[in-house]
């Protein structure tokens, strides 16, 4: 298995901007959010279980998941959220491990908003937090997704507090400035990760 960097950050922090930049340097990126979508595609075992458990309300006309309905449901009812996670998390983990094992770049990046909460950090040798103030997260996420600020705040509240993430991360990149400033920090970190991976 490659040397793996875990990359995390809250909603609107710029995880994708960071992982895209590393991908452009030839680094294999495995995105837990993408994997999470793949495991619930129509016909997949997790999709089947969700359909049977929640019924027709959980699906759109094209048979894909009705994410807005599901999100509202599981944020309102913690036991439903736990049930949903019990169906999706083990399958996501298996797929992530498989993709990381297939990586051929100098090191691999696992991007996950719930890197610490989900235990996915155990799959990594080092962790990098893309960090911005919560007010910035809310501003960026509401502009990007047309989500209500209250909904964004609920998502933030359901995740590990920013201070705790900052304590747990090995490295922190501040993305409250320009994209160029983020890239400059990533350039230095990338060199460091190449060094660490080569001694693996």
For the residues 44-59, what does the mean pLDDT come to?
A: 96
25 is in an annotated binding site: no
6 is in an annotated binding site: no
Q: pLDDT band for position 159 (50/70/90)? A: confident
Give the tens place of pLDDT for each residue, 174-197.
999 999 999 999 999 999 999 999
What is the residue extent of each domain of the chain?
A: 1-27+106-200, 38-104
Q: Is 124 helix (H, G, I), strand (E, B) or coil?
A: coil
Give the tens place of pLDDT for each residue, 68-114.
999 999 989 999 999 999 999 899 999 999 999 999 999 999 999 98
Q: Which phi and psi (to 5°) does residue 78 adopt? A: -55, -35
pLDDT of 15 over the 90 cut: yes
13 is in an annotated binding site: yes
Q: Which CATH superfamily is domain 1-27+106-200 in?
A: P-loop containing nucleotide triphosphate hydrolases (3.40.50.300)
Percentage, residues of the chain above pLDDT 90 = 78
pLDDT of 146 over the 80 cut: no
Torsion on CA atoms 159, 69, 89, 196, rounded to nearest 10 = -50
Mutual angle of helices 78-101 and 67-76, in 10-degree steps: 120
Give the tens place of pLDDT for each residue, 104-143.
999 999 999 989 988 899 999 999 999 999 889 888 888 7
Contact 105, 111 (CB under 8 A): no
Q: Which phi and psi (to 5°) does residue 48 adopt? A: -60, -45
pLDDT of 43 over the 90 cut: yes
pLDDT of 147 over the 80 cut: no
Instruction: Report pLDDT for 150.
Output: 82
pLDDT of 144 over the 80 cut: no
17 is in an annotated binding site: yes
Measure CA 114 to chain center: 6
Contact 190, 18 (CB under 8 A): no
- Rounded Cα distance between 39 and 111, Å, is 16
Q: pLDDT band for position 154 (50/70/90)? A: confident
Paired with 59 in beta bridges are 65
């Amino acid at each position: 298995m490659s040397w793996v960097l875990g990359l995390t950050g809250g909603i609107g922090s710029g995880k994708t901007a960071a992982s895209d930049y590393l991908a452009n340097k030839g680094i294999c990126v495995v995105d837990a959010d993408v994997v999470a979508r793949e495991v619930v595609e129509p016909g997949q075992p997790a999709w089947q279980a969700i359909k049977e458990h929640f019924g027709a309300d959980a699906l759109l006309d094209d048979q894909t998941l009705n994410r807005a309905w599901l999100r509202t449901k599981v944020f309102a009812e913690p036991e439903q959220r736990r049930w949903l996670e019990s169906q999706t998390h083990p399958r996501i983990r298996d797929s992530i491990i498989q993709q990381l094992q297939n990586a051929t770049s100098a090191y691999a990046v696992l991007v996950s908003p719930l890197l610490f909460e989900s235990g996915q950090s155990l799959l990594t040798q080092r962790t990098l937090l893309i960090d911005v103030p919560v007010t910035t997260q809310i501003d960026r996420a509401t502009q990007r997704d047309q989500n209500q600020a209250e909904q964004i705040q609920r998502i933030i509240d359901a995740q590990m507090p920013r201070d705790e993430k900052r304590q747990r991360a090995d490295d922190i990149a501040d993305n409250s400035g320009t994209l160029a400033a983020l890239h400059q920090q990533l350039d230095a970190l990338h060199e460091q990760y190449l060094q660490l991976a080569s001694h693996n």
